[in-house]
Protein backbone atom coordinates (compact mmCIF):
# COMPACT_ATOMS: atom_id res chain seq x y z
CA UNK A 1 0.00 0.00 0.00
CA UNK A 2 2.81 2.39 0.91
CA UNK A 3 4.47 1.72 -2.44
CA UNK A 4 1.32 2.61 -4.37
CA UNK A 5 0.87 5.80 -2.34
CA UNK A 6 4.42 6.82 -3.18
CA UNK A 7 3.89 6.07 -6.86
CA UNK A 8 0.64 8.06 -6.91
CA UNK A 9 2.46 10.94 -5.30
CA UNK A 10 5.06 10.88 -8.04
CA UNK A 11 2.47 10.11 -10.70
CA UNK A 12 4.55 7.34 -12.26
CA UNK A 13 3.14 4.11 -13.64
CA UNK A 14 4.10 0.90 -11.84
CA UNK A 15 7.29 -0.17 -13.62
CA UNK A 16 6.58 -3.86 -13.03
CA UNK A 17 3.07 -3.70 -14.46
CA UNK A 18 3.52 -1.16 -17.27
CA UNK A 19 7.20 -0.57 -18.00
CA UNK A 20 6.68 1.40 -21.27
CA UNK A 21 4.37 3.86 -19.51
CA UNK A 22 6.76 4.12 -16.56
CA UNK A 23 9.52 5.02 -19.02
CA UNK A 24 7.38 7.69 -20.69
CA UNK A 25 6.32 9.10 -17.32
CA UNK A 26 9.91 9.35 -16.08
CA UNK A 27 11.28 11.24 -19.08
CA UNK A 28 8.28 13.56 -18.98
CA UNK A 29 8.27 14.26 -15.23
CA UNK A 30 12.02 14.89 -15.17
CA UNK A 31 11.76 17.21 -18.19
CA UNK A 32 14.37 15.34 -20.21
CA UNK A 33 12.52 15.58 -23.50
CA UNK A 34 9.34 16.89 -25.07
CA UNK A 35 7.54 15.99 -28.27
CA UNK A 36 7.99 18.25 -31.30
CA UNK A 37 5.31 19.02 -33.93
CA UNK A 38 6.89 16.40 -36.23
CA UNK A 39 6.18 12.81 -35.19
CA UNK A 40 9.28 10.96 -34.09
CA UNK A 41 11.42 14.08 -33.66
CA UNK A 42 12.10 14.86 -30.00
CA UNK A 43 13.14 18.06 -28.27
CA UNK A 44 15.93 17.29 -25.81
CA UNK A 45 15.51 19.63 -22.86
CA UNK A 46 18.40 20.93 -20.72
CA UNK A 47 18.46 18.07 -18.18
CA UNK A 48 18.45 15.42 -20.90
CA UNK A 49 21.01 17.29 -22.97
CA UNK A 50 23.31 17.73 -19.99
CA UNK A 51 23.46 13.94 -19.67
CA UNK A 52 24.31 13.69 -23.38
CA UNK A 53 27.04 16.32 -22.99
CA UNK A 54 28.62 14.29 -20.17
CA UNK A 55 28.46 11.12 -22.26
CA UNK A 56 29.96 12.98 -25.21
CA UNK A 57 32.85 14.31 -23.10
CA UNK A 58 33.74 10.84 -21.83
CA UNK A 59 33.87 9.37 -25.32
CA UNK A 60 35.49 12.37 -26.97
CA UNK A 61 38.47 12.48 -24.63
CA UNK A 62 39.11 8.79 -25.28
CA UNK A 63 38.81 9.24 -29.04
CA UNK A 64 41.36 12.05 -28.95
CA UNK A 65 43.67 10.11 -26.65
CA UNK A 66 43.83 7.39 -29.34
CA UNK A 67 44.72 9.87 -32.09
CA UNK A 68 41.31 10.64 -33.58
CA UNK A 69 40.26 14.12 -34.71
CA UNK A 70 36.79 15.58 -35.05
CA UNK A 71 35.43 16.86 -38.35
CA UNK A 72 32.01 17.70 -39.75
CA UNK A 73 30.41 16.57 -43.01
CA UNK A 74 27.27 17.80 -44.83
CA UNK A 75 23.76 16.81 -43.83
CA UNK A 76 22.59 16.17 -47.41
CA UNK A 77 23.88 13.39 -49.66
CA UNK A 78 23.17 13.13 -53.43
CA UNK A 79 21.09 10.08 -54.36
CA UNK A 80 23.71 8.87 -56.85
CA UNK A 81 26.34 8.90 -54.11
CA UNK A 82 24.16 6.92 -51.70
CA UNK A 83 23.61 4.28 -54.40
CA UNK A 84 27.29 3.64 -55.08
CA UNK A 85 27.47 0.77 -52.57
CA UNK A 86 24.49 -1.47 -53.38
CA UNK A 87 24.26 -3.42 -50.10
CA UNK A 88 24.49 -0.19 -48.13
CA UNK A 89 21.68 1.64 -49.91
CA UNK A 90 19.46 -1.44 -49.80
CA UNK A 91 19.88 -1.62 -46.02
CA UNK A 92 18.92 2.01 -45.46
CA UNK A 93 16.41 2.65 -48.27
CA UNK A 94 13.23 2.17 -46.19
CA UNK A 95 14.37 4.79 -43.64
CA UNK A 96 15.81 7.52 -45.88
CA UNK A 97 14.21 10.97 -45.90
CA UNK A 98 14.55 12.85 -49.19
CA UNK A 99 14.81 16.52 -50.13
CA UNK A 100 13.38 17.07 -53.62
CA UNK A 101 12.86 20.83 -53.71
CA UNK A 102 15.06 23.84 -52.96
CA UNK A 103 12.78 26.79 -52.36
CA UNK A 104 10.13 26.56 -55.07
CA UNK A 105 12.31 24.69 -57.56
CA UNK A 106 12.60 20.95 -58.12
CA UNK A 107 16.14 19.70 -57.58
CA UNK A 108 17.94 18.05 -60.49
CA UNK A 109 18.81 15.17 -58.17
CA UNK A 110 17.10 14.17 -54.88
CA UNK A 111 19.20 14.65 -51.77
CA UNK A 112 19.12 12.19 -48.88
CA UNK A 113 19.08 13.51 -45.33
CA UNK A 114 21.98 11.50 -43.91
CA UNK A 115 20.96 8.21 -42.31
CA UNK A 116 24.71 7.65 -41.83
CA UNK A 117 27.72 9.24 -43.51
CA UNK A 118 29.85 6.50 -45.09
CA UNK A 119 29.11 7.68 -48.61
CA UNK A 120 29.70 11.41 -48.20
CA UNK A 121 32.83 10.80 -46.14
CA UNK A 122 34.23 8.29 -48.61
CA UNK A 123 33.72 10.74 -51.47
CA UNK A 124 35.90 13.24 -49.61
CA UNK A 125 38.50 10.66 -48.61
CA UNK A 126 38.86 9.81 -52.30
CA UNK A 127 39.86 13.45 -52.90
CA UNK A 128 42.24 13.70 -49.95
CA UNK A 129 44.17 10.42 -49.89
CA UNK A 130 47.17 10.12 -52.22
CA UNK A 131 50.01 8.36 -50.39
CA UNK A 132 50.54 5.73 -47.71
CA UNK A 133 52.37 8.43 -45.76
CA UNK A 134 48.97 10.04 -45.01
CA UNK A 135 47.57 6.91 -43.41
CA UNK A 136 45.90 6.18 -41.13
CA UNK A 137 42.94 8.55 -41.46
CA UNK A 138 41.48 8.76 -37.96
CA UNK A 139 38.41 11.01 -38.07
CA UNK A 140 35.13 11.28 -36.19
CA UNK A 141 32.09 13.52 -36.32
CA UNK A 142 29.43 14.44 -33.77
CA UNK A 143 26.12 15.13 -35.48
CA UNK A 144 22.52 14.01 -35.86
CA UNK A 145 21.12 11.57 -38.40
CA UNK A 146 17.61 10.95 -39.69
CA UNK A 147 16.02 7.53 -40.16
CA UNK A 148 12.30 7.62 -40.81
CA UNK A 149 11.10 5.19 -38.17
CA UNK A 150 7.54 3.80 -38.13
CA UNK A 151 7.42 3.35 -34.36
CA UNK A 152 9.27 5.78 -32.12
CA UNK A 153 10.06 6.20 -28.45
CA UNK A 154 12.19 9.04 -27.04
CA UNK A 155 15.91 8.23 -26.90
CA UNK A 156 15.40 4.56 -27.80
CA UNK A 157 14.21 4.92 -31.38
CA UNK A 158 13.53 8.32 -32.90
CA UNK A 159 13.49 9.62 -36.45
CA UNK A 160 16.33 12.00 -35.63
CA UNK A 161 18.94 11.20 -33.02
CA UNK A 162 22.31 12.46 -31.84
CA UNK A 163 25.39 10.35 -32.32
CA UNK A 164 29.03 10.16 -33.25
CA UNK A 165 30.38 8.27 -36.21
CA UNK A 166 34.06 7.52 -36.62
CA UNK A 167 35.45 6.69 -40.07
CA UNK A 168 39.02 5.51 -40.43
CA UNK A 169 41.29 4.29 -43.25
CA UNK A 170 44.27 1.95 -42.84
CA UNK A 171 47.04 0.39 -44.89
CA UNK A 172 46.34 -3.20 -43.88
CA UNK A 173 43.44 -5.44 -42.96
CA UNK A 174 45.17 -6.17 -39.64
CA UNK A 175 45.36 -2.47 -38.75
CA UNK A 176 41.68 -2.01 -39.62
CA UNK A 177 40.69 -4.95 -37.44
CA UNK A 178 42.79 -3.61 -34.55
CA UNK A 179 41.02 -0.24 -34.89
CA UNK A 180 37.61 -1.94 -34.97
CA UNK A 181 38.32 -3.76 -31.74
CA UNK A 182 39.97 -0.77 -30.05
CA UNK A 183 36.84 1.32 -30.53
CA UNK A 184 34.56 -1.49 -29.37
CA UNK A 185 36.64 -1.71 -26.20
CA UNK A 186 36.36 2.07 -25.67
CA UNK A 187 32.58 1.75 -26.00
CA UNK A 188 32.51 -1.02 -23.42
CA UNK A 189 34.80 0.90 -21.08
CA UNK A 190 32.61 4.02 -21.04
CA UNK A 191 29.41 2.00 -20.77
CA UNK A 192 30.64 -0.02 -17.82
CA UNK A 193 32.93 2.39 -15.98
CA UNK A 194 30.96 5.61 -16.53
CA UNK A 195 27.36 4.62 -17.24
CA UNK A 196 27.58 1.63 -14.86
CA UNK A 197 25.88 -0.62 -17.43
CA UNK A 198 27.39 -4.11 -17.90
CA UNK A 199 27.80 -5.01 -21.55
CA UNK A 200 27.85 -8.21 -23.52
CA UNK A 201 30.34 -7.86 -26.37
CA UNK A 202 30.60 -9.96 -29.49
CA UNK A 203 30.09 -10.22 -33.21
CA UNK A 204 26.79 -9.72 -35.00
CA UNK A 205 25.47 -12.40 -37.31
CA UNK A 206 25.57 -11.69 -41.05
CA UNK A 207 21.84 -11.00 -40.89
CA UNK A 208 22.26 -8.37 -38.16
CA UNK A 209 25.52 -6.75 -39.32
CA UNK A 210 25.78 -3.26 -40.78
CA UNK A 211 24.86 -3.00 -44.44
CA UNK A 212 28.12 -3.18 -46.41
CA UNK A 213 30.34 -4.38 -43.55
CA UNK A 214 32.70 -7.36 -43.51
CA UNK A 215 31.92 -7.70 -39.81
CA UNK A 216 30.00 -5.83 -37.12
CA UNK A 217 30.84 -5.98 -33.43
CA UNK A 218 28.44 -4.86 -30.73
CA UNK A 219 27.94 -3.98 -27.09
CA UNK A 220 24.56 -5.19 -25.80
CA UNK A 221 22.87 -4.22 -22.55
CA UNK A 222 19.89 -5.75 -20.80
CA UNK A 223 17.08 -3.51 -19.61
CA UNK A 224 14.95 -3.90 -16.47
CA UNK A 225 12.12 -5.47 -18.47
CA UNK A 226 14.38 -8.17 -19.93
CA UNK A 227 14.75 -6.65 -23.39
CA UNK A 228 18.17 -6.04 -24.92
CA UNK A 229 19.45 -2.70 -26.19
CA UNK A 230 22.14 -2.49 -28.86
CA UNK A 231 24.25 0.23 -27.29
CA UNK A 232 27.10 0.72 -29.74
CA UNK A 233 28.60 -0.90 -32.81
CA UNK A 234 32.01 -1.03 -34.46
CA UNK A 235 32.28 -2.14 -38.08
CA UNK A 236 35.15 -3.51 -40.13
CA UNK A 237 34.12 -2.39 -43.61
CA UNK A 238 37.05 -4.00 -45.41
CA UNK A 239 37.42 -2.49 -48.88
CA UNK A 240 33.73 -2.41 -49.85
CA UNK A 241 33.40 1.36 -49.71
CA UNK A 242 36.96 2.22 -50.69
CA UNK A 243 36.54 0.29 -53.95
CA UNK A 244 33.04 1.62 -54.60
CA UNK A 245 34.29 5.19 -54.15
CA UNK A 246 37.66 4.58 -55.81
CA UNK A 247 39.70 5.59 -52.79
CA UNK A 248 43.24 4.75 -53.87
CA UNK A 249 46.72 5.71 -52.79
CA UNK A 250 50.32 5.07 -53.80
CA UNK A 251 51.51 2.31 -51.47
CA UNK A 252 54.98 1.44 -50.20
CA UNK A 253 55.69 -0.54 -53.40
CA UNK A 254 54.81 2.48 -55.53
CA UNK A 255 51.56 0.82 -56.66
CA UNK A 256 47.94 1.94 -56.43
CA UNK A 257 46.12 0.27 -53.50
CA UNK A 258 42.76 0.47 -51.75
CA UNK A 259 42.86 1.21 -48.03
CA UNK A 260 40.87 -0.72 -45.41
CA UNK A 261 37.98 1.08 -43.79
CA UNK A 262 36.25 1.07 -40.39
CA UNK A 263 33.28 2.92 -38.93
CA UNK A 264 31.87 2.97 -35.42
CA UNK A 265 29.13 4.79 -33.54
CA UNK A 266 27.16 5.30 -30.35
CA UNK A 267 24.07 7.46 -29.98
CA UNK A 268 21.71 9.22 -27.60
CA UNK A 269 19.87 5.91 -27.13
CA UNK A 270 22.44 5.35 -24.38
CA UNK A 271 20.35 7.77 -22.31
CA UNK A 272 17.37 5.47 -22.77
CA UNK A 273 19.56 2.63 -21.55
CA UNK A 274 20.58 4.60 -18.45
CA UNK A 275 16.94 5.18 -17.58
CA UNK A 276 15.82 1.58 -18.12
CA UNK A 277 18.75 -0.12 -16.40
CA UNK A 278 19.05 2.03 -13.26
CA UNK A 279 15.62 3.65 -12.81
CA UNK A 280 13.23 2.55 -10.06
CA UNK A 281 9.68 3.17 -8.89
CA UNK A 282 10.67 6.68 -7.79
CA UNK A 283 12.15 7.78 -11.11
CA UNK A 284 15.67 8.20 -12.42
CA UNK A 285 18.73 6.82 -10.68
CA UNK A 286 21.84 8.33 -12.27
CA UNK A 287 25.41 7.08 -11.90
CA UNK A 288 27.51 9.85 -10.34
CA UNK A 289 30.02 9.98 -13.20
CA UNK A 290 27.31 10.94 -15.68
CA UNK A 291 24.78 12.82 -13.52
CA UNK A 292 24.35 16.51 -14.42
CA UNK A 293 23.96 17.19 -10.69
CA UNK A 294 25.93 14.93 -8.36
CA UNK A 295 24.90 16.58 -5.10
CA UNK A 296 21.80 18.65 -4.40
CA UNK A 297 21.74 20.74 -1.25
CA UNK A 298 18.34 21.11 0.41
CA UNK A 299 18.19 23.73 3.18
CA UNK A 300 15.61 22.75 5.80
CA UNK A 301 13.77 25.63 7.51
CA UNK A 302 15.68 27.95 5.23
CA UNK A 303 13.76 30.96 6.54
CA UNK A 304 15.65 30.65 9.83
CA UNK A 305 18.76 32.69 10.38
CA UNK A 306 22.01 31.18 9.13
CA UNK A 307 20.56 28.22 7.26
CA UNK A 308 20.87 29.59 3.73
CA UNK A 309 24.26 31.11 4.52
CA UNK A 310 25.57 27.71 5.65
CA UNK A 311 23.99 26.00 2.62
CA UNK A 312 25.75 28.39 0.25
CA UNK A 313 28.99 27.98 2.15
CA UNK A 314 28.78 24.22 1.66
CA UNK A 315 27.94 24.68 -2.01
CA UNK A 316 31.03 26.83 -2.52
CA UNK A 317 33.20 24.12 -0.96
CA UNK A 318 31.62 21.17 -2.75
CA UNK A 319 31.42 22.68 -6.23
CA UNK A 320 35.22 22.82 -6.39
CA UNK A 321 35.16 19.06 -6.99
CA UNK A 322 31.57 18.09 -7.79
CA UNK A 323 28.56 19.18 -9.83
CA UNK A 324 26.36 20.80 -7.19
CA UNK A 325 22.90 22.40 -7.13
CA UNK A 326 21.33 24.28 -4.22
CA UNK A 327 17.55 24.35 -4.16
CA UNK A 328 16.55 27.53 -2.35
CA UNK A 329 13.11 27.70 -3.96
CA UNK A 330 10.01 28.41 -1.87
CA UNK A 331 8.80 24.82 -2.18
CA UNK A 332 8.63 22.68 0.96
CA UNK A 333 11.57 20.41 1.83
CA UNK A 334 9.35 17.37 1.20
CA UNK A 335 8.49 18.57 -2.28
CA UNK A 336 12.17 19.18 -3.01
CA UNK A 337 13.16 15.74 -1.71
CA UNK A 338 10.57 14.17 -3.97
CA UNK A 339 11.54 16.20 -7.05
CA UNK A 340 15.29 15.64 -6.83
CA UNK A 341 14.77 11.98 -6.03
CA UNK A 342 12.80 11.64 -9.26
CA UNK A 343 15.59 13.40 -11.16
CA UNK A 344 18.02 10.75 -9.94
CA UNK A 345 20.59 12.97 -8.23
CA UNK A 346 23.06 10.60 -6.50
CA UNK A 347 23.35 12.50 -3.17
CA UNK A 348 20.96 14.81 -1.35
CA UNK A 349 22.57 16.95 1.33
CA UNK A 350 20.15 18.15 4.03
CA UNK A 351 21.12 21.02 6.30
CA UNK A 352 18.90 22.67 8.93
CA UNK A 353 19.20 24.71 12.15
CA UNK A 354 19.74 21.68 14.38
CA UNK A 355 22.38 20.29 11.98
CA UNK A 356 24.25 23.59 12.05
CA UNK A 357 24.07 23.66 15.83
CA UNK A 358 25.57 20.15 15.95
CA UNK A 359 28.18 20.86 13.25
CA UNK A 360 26.79 18.23 10.92
CA UNK A 361 24.82 17.56 7.74
CA UNK A 362 22.80 14.62 6.45
CA UNK A 363 23.75 12.84 3.21
CA UNK A 364 21.04 10.71 1.58
CA UNK A 365 21.92 8.15 -1.11
CA UNK A 366 19.58 7.94 -4.09
CA UNK A 367 20.47 4.33 -4.90
CA UNK A 368 19.70 2.82 -1.47
CA UNK A 369 17.80 5.63 0.32
CA UNK A 370 20.32 5.27 3.17
CA UNK A 371 21.05 8.39 5.21
CA UNK A 372 24.28 9.14 7.02
CA UNK A 373 25.18 12.00 9.31
CA UNK A 374 28.59 13.58 8.71
CA UNK A 375 30.60 16.36 10.32
CA UNK A 376 30.52 19.60 8.34
CA UNK A 377 34.29 19.68 7.98
CA UNK A 378 34.20 16.17 6.47
CA UNK A 379 31.36 16.71 4.00
CA UNK A 380 33.64 16.96 0.95
CA UNK A 381 35.58 13.77 1.68
CA UNK A 382 32.52 11.80 2.77
CA UNK A 383 30.57 12.89 -0.32
CA UNK A 384 33.40 11.77 -2.59
CA UNK A 385 33.56 8.35 -0.95
CA UNK A 386 29.79 8.06 -1.18
CA UNK A 387 29.74 8.92 -4.90
CA UNK A 388 32.34 6.22 -5.54
CA UNK A 389 30.28 3.72 -3.57
CA UNK A 390 27.11 4.62 -5.47
CA UNK A 391 28.86 4.25 -8.83
CA UNK A 392 30.15 0.82 -7.87
CA UNK A 393 26.83 -0.30 -6.41
CA UNK A 394 24.86 0.65 -9.52
CA UNK A 395 27.13 -1.41 -11.75
CA UNK A 396 27.01 -4.41 -9.41
CA UNK A 397 23.24 -4.15 -9.12
CA UNK A 398 22.85 -3.99 -12.92
CA UNK A 399 25.21 -6.95 -13.36
CA UNK A 400 23.25 -8.99 -10.82
CA UNK A 401 20.02 -8.15 -12.64
CA UNK A 402 21.50 -9.28 -15.95
CA UNK A 403 22.79 -12.52 -14.46
CA UNK A 404 19.40 -13.26 -12.94
CA UNK A 405 17.73 -12.61 -16.29
CA UNK A 406 20.13 -14.82 -18.29
CA UNK A 407 19.18 -18.43 -19.02
CA UNK A 408 20.54 -21.30 -21.12
CA UNK A 409 18.51 -23.45 -23.50
CA UNK A 410 19.29 -26.73 -25.28
CA UNK A 411 16.19 -26.98 -27.49
CA UNK A 412 13.38 -24.77 -28.76
CA UNK A 413 10.83 -25.90 -26.17
CA UNK A 414 13.25 -24.96 -23.41
CA UNK A 415 14.11 -21.71 -25.21
CA UNK A 416 10.49 -20.59 -25.36
CA UNK A 417 9.72 -21.73 -21.84
CA UNK A 418 12.63 -19.88 -20.27
CA UNK A 419 12.06 -16.74 -22.31
CA UNK A 420 8.44 -16.68 -21.12
CA UNK A 421 9.27 -17.41 -17.48
CA UNK A 422 12.29 -15.12 -17.20
CA UNK A 423 12.55 -12.57 -20.05
CA UNK A 424 16.16 -11.68 -20.74
CA UNK A 425 19.18 -13.15 -22.49
CA UNK A 426 19.03 -16.75 -23.67
CA UNK A 427 22.35 -18.50 -24.27
CA UNK A 428 22.11 -21.30 -26.81
CA UNK A 429 24.26 -23.21 -29.27
CA UNK A 430 23.83 -22.02 -32.87
CA UNK A 431 25.00 -23.79 -36.01
CA UNK A 432 25.58 -20.53 -37.88
CA UNK A 433 22.75 -21.12 -40.37
CA UNK A 434 20.63 -18.08 -41.27
CA UNK A 435 17.55 -20.32 -41.54
CA UNK A 436 17.84 -21.28 -37.86
CA UNK A 437 18.35 -17.68 -36.83
CA UNK A 438 15.21 -16.69 -38.76
CA UNK A 439 13.19 -19.54 -37.28
CA UNK A 440 14.17 -18.62 -33.73
CA UNK A 441 13.10 -15.03 -34.34
CA UNK A 442 9.81 -16.12 -35.92
CA UNK A 443 8.91 -18.53 -33.12
CA UNK A 444 10.06 -16.48 -30.12
CA UNK A 445 10.49 -12.87 -31.14
CA UNK A 446 14.10 -13.09 -29.93
CA UNK A 447 16.87 -11.98 -32.28
CA UNK A 448 20.50 -13.01 -32.19
CA UNK A 449 22.16 -10.21 -30.26
CA UNK A 450 25.80 -11.36 -30.41
CA UNK A 451 28.16 -14.28 -30.79
CA UNK A 452 30.64 -13.85 -27.90
CA UNK A 453 34.39 -13.85 -28.56
CA UNK A 454 36.31 -17.10 -28.28
CA UNK A 455 37.56 -16.40 -24.74
CA UNK A 456 33.94 -16.09 -23.58
CA UNK A 457 32.62 -19.11 -25.46
CA UNK A 458 31.18 -22.17 -23.74
CA UNK A 459 29.49 -25.41 -24.67
CA UNK A 460 25.84 -25.77 -23.67
CA UNK A 461 24.38 -29.26 -23.34
CA UNK A 462 25.59 -31.67 -25.99
CA UNK A 463 26.86 -28.88 -28.26
CA UNK A 464 24.09 -29.07 -30.83
CA UNK A 465 22.16 -26.19 -32.36
CA UNK A 466 19.15 -25.17 -30.28
CA UNK A 467 17.02 -25.00 -33.42
CA UNK A 468 18.03 -27.74 -35.86
CA UNK A 469 19.97 -30.11 -33.60
CA UNK A 470 23.06 -30.20 -35.83
CA UNK A 471 26.55 -29.89 -34.33
CA UNK A 472 27.37 -26.29 -33.39
CA UNK A 473 30.70 -24.72 -32.51
CA UNK A 474 29.49 -21.41 -31.09
CA UNK A 475 27.13 -20.27 -28.38
CA UNK A 476 25.06 -17.20 -29.25
CA UNK A 477 23.08 -14.81 -27.08
CA UNK A 478 19.45 -14.15 -28.02
CA UNK A 479 16.88 -11.70 -26.64
CA UNK A 480 13.89 -9.65 -27.59
CA UNK A 481 15.21 -6.16 -28.22
CA UNK A 482 14.35 -2.50 -28.55
Could you read off the pLDDT of 168-219 as tens digits, one per residue? 999 999 999 999 999 999 999 999 999 999 999 999 999 999 988 999 999 9
Q: Is the pTM of this model over 0.85?
A: yes
The fraction of the chain above a pLDDT of 70, given in percent, is 98
Task: Provide the residue ranges of all domains of the chain, joining segments of one domain with +.
Answer: 11-278, 295-387, 406-479
Architecture of domain 295-387: 3-Layer(aba) Sandwich (3.40)
Q: Is the pLDDT of residue 397 over 60?
A: yes
- Give burial (CB, 10 Å; 0-12/13-18/19+) of 420: exposed
C-alpha span between 268 and 253 (Å, rounded):
44
Q: Work out whether strand 347-351 and strand 295-299 pair parallel, antiparallel, or are unpaired.
A: parallel
CB 190 within 8 A of CB 274: no
Cα 70 from Cα 368, distance rounded (Å): 40
364 Cβ contact list (under 8 Å, min separation 6): 347, 348, 349, 350, 370, 371
| pLDDT for residue 125 | 98
Residue count (the chain): 482
Residue 64 — very low, low, confident or very high, per pLDDT cuts 50/70/90?
A: very high
Fold of the domain built from segment(s) 406-479: Translation Initiation Factor IF3 (3.30.110)
User: Rounded to whole angstroms, how far apart are CA atoms 268 and 434?
Assistant: 31
Strand pairing class (447-452; 371-375): unpaired
pLDDT mean over 383-400: 98
Q: Return the pLDDT at 85.
A: 75
Confidence of residue 87 (pLDDT cuts 50, 70, 90): confident
Q: Each residue of 216-273: pLDDT tens digit?
A: 999 999 999 999 999 999 999 999 999 999 999 999 999 999 999 999 999 999 999 9
Predicted pLDDT of residue 196 = 98
Q: How many CB atoms lie within 10 A of CB 127?
A: 9
Instruction: Name the band, by pLDDT with cuts 50, 70 and 90, for residue 9.
Output: low
Q: pLDDT at residue 104 above 70?
A: yes
Write the pLDDT tens digit of every residue in 426-474. 999 999 999 999 999 999 999 999 999 999 999 999 999 999 999 999 9
| For residue 10, pLDDT beyond 80 | no
Q: 11-278, what's its fold? A: BirA Bifunctional Protein; domain 2 (3.30.930)
pLDDT on residue 199: 98
Residue of higher predicted confidence among 134 and 86: 134
pLDDT tops 50 at residue 3: no
Each residue's pLDDT tens digit, 121-161: 999 999 999 999 999 999 999 999 999 988 899 999 999 99
What band does 283 get if pLDDT is binned at 50, 70 and 90? very high
- pLDDT value for 211: 87
Q: What is the pLDDT of residues 335-371, one digit of tens each?
A: 999 999 999 999 999 999 999 999 999 999 999 999 9
Three-point CA angle 396, 402, 405, nearest 5°: 140
Average pLDDT over residues 375-403: 97
How crowded is the C-beta side of 11, counted as CA atoms within 13 Å? 7
Q: What is the mean pLDDT of the chain?
A: 95
For residue 7, what pLDDT is reported? 42
2 confidence band (pLDDT: 50, 70, 90): very low
Backbone angles phi, psi at 212, to 5 degrees: 100, 0
Specify the pLDDT at position 8: 44
Q: What percent of the chain has pLDDT over 90?
A: 93
Q: What pLDDT is recorded for position 371?
A: 97
1, pLDDT greater than 70: no
End-to-end CA distance of the chain: 32
Residue 11: the pLDDT is 86
CA atoms within 13 A on the CB side of 152: 19
Residue 310: is its pLDDT beyond 50? yes
Q: In whole angstroms, give the CA distance from residue 337 to residue 296.
A: 10
Amino acid sequence: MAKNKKQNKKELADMEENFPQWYTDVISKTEMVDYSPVKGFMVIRPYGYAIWENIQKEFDKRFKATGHQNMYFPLLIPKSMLEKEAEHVEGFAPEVAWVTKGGDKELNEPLAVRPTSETIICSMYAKWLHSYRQLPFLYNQWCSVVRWEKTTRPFLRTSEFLWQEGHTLHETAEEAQAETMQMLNIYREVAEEVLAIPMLTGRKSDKEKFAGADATYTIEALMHDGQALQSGTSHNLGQHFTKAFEIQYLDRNNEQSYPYHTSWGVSSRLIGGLIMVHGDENGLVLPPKIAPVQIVIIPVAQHKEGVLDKAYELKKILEQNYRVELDDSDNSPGWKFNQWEMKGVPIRLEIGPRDIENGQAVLARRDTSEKITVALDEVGTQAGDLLDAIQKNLFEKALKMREEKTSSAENMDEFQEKLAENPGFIKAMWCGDRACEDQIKEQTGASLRAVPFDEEQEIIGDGTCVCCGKPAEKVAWFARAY
